[in-house]
Amino acid sequence: MTVTDQPGAELEAGFDRLIQADQRIEPRDWMPEAYRKTLIRQIAQHAHSEIIGMQPEGNWITRAPSLRRKAILLAKVQDEAGHGMYLYAAAETLGVDREELTEKLIESKQKYSSIFNYPTLTYADVGVIGWLVDGAAICNQVPLCRCSYGPYARAMVRICKEESFHQRQGYELLLAMVNGTPEQKAMVQESVDRWWWPSLMMFGPPDGDSPNTQQSMAWGIKRHTNDELRQRFVDMTVPQAEALGVTLPDPNLVWNPERQAHDYGEPDWSEFKAVITGAGPTNAQRLAHRRRAHENGAWVREAARAYADKQKQVSA
């Protein structure tokens, strides 16, 4: 009996064939344990980011400057909850439980995006999050619509459509502000100054310091490296900043005709490391809020469980 005659090797060869043919892996297909683990890690982090990501903008719902702005912001934050639910459902197809993932989040055993550990100090931050944070999310997530794992790829299609709408609403809000009073324009610039570097950090560490990229690309989970996507974001954002009349706070940001791309400065990677290990400006506050909301929701989960048990008895 040769190695490939063994059932395990055959399954692995089948998986490799699907990946090489750029076809989708579905929940019932055999997959290597490390592939499953990587997907759970990434999808769970992504879901947690959407859920924690409701907090910075949610902070402004009660103080939106008009009914129209309040309705828009409410709808956006609600969309983020929906994205979190889709993504938890995609993770569940890999054999984990949503309850278990939430526990891991509130016990700091799983990460969420660094970007949501910064405070939203002014209303301009709502527009800048839409423009830069959703803009970065789109750059990062459009390629994930072609991810090799079917349920994640399909969830990303709808999520990206909504993120794109979010990005435009942020830009529209900023356009209104930069065409308003000098104070409003200054508010936008001050907000851009605070959010620019954290937005670049959303793409993850530089390629040389990214332990997961190579394997995730070989498996077709990631389609581009962190630095490739960061570059794409910079190139996409510079003309938008010019149209808004704001300056991006990087003295090294300049068009490089040879590369046909912008050169830009180095983000402060020590700040990034501090933020992803729990020492960012609002890490403790974000997690405490999430923990409190989870505990306050215990009675809803209990009631839902009791109702489901009763239904089972009725149909038995």
Contact positions vs ligand FAQ (CB under 6 A): 41-42, 45-46, 49-50, 53, 80, 111, 113-114, 129, 133-134, 137, 140-141, 201-205, 210-213, 216, 222, 226, 276
Nearer to ligand FAQ, 95 or 211 (CB): 211
Return the number of the residue (90 or 185) whose C-beta is nearest ligand FAQ: 90
Q: Evaluate whether 88 touches 151 at the Cβ level (below 8 Å).
A: no
The answer to whether 118 and 280 are in contact (CB under 8 A) is yes
Neighbouring CB atoms inside 10 A of 145's CB total 17
Q: Is 56 helix (H, G, I), strand (E, B) or coil?
A: helix
Q: How far is the CB of 57 from ligand FAQ (least distance, A)?
A: 6
Min dist. Cβ of residue 50 to ligand FAQ (A): 5
Smallest distance, ligand FAQ to C-beta of residue 170, A: 9
Nearer to ligand FAQ, 111 or 168 (CB): 111
> Which residues on adjacent β-strands are paired with residue 254?
263
CB of 113 or CB of 237, closer to ligand FAQ: 113
Report the residue number whose CB is nearest to ligand FAQ.
53
Q: In 3D, which of 149, 134, 32 has the Cα closest to residue 90?
A: 149
The distance of closest approach from Cβ of residue 254 to ligand FAQ in the complex, given in angstroms and rounded to an integer, is 25
- Helical spans, DSSP H, in 120-212: 124-128, 134-141, 150-178, 182-201
Of 242, 236, 234, the closest CA to residue 263 belongs to 234
Q: Which residues does 133 contact at the CB level (< 8 Å), separation at least 6?
A: 53, 115, 195, 199, 202
Min CB(242)–ligand FAQ separation in Å: 23
Toward ligand FAQ, which CB reaches closer, 129 or 178?
Answer: 129
- For the CB of residue 117, give the shortest distance to ligand FAQ in the complex, in Å: 9
Nearest approach in angstroms of CB 275 to ligand FAQ is 7
Q: Using the minimum distance from each CB to ligand FAQ, give the nearer residue, 185 or 287.
A: 287
Q: Where are the alpha helices (DSSP H) in the chain?
A: 7-20, 33-52, 54-58, 67-92, 98-106, 124-128, 134-141, 150-178, 182-201, 213-218, 226-244, 269-274, 283-296, 298-315
Cα dihedral 24, 45, 49, 140 sign: negative
CA distance linking residue 226 with residue 218, whole number of Å: 14
CB atoms within 10 A of CB 85: 15
Nearer to ligand FAQ, 11 or 143 (CB): 143
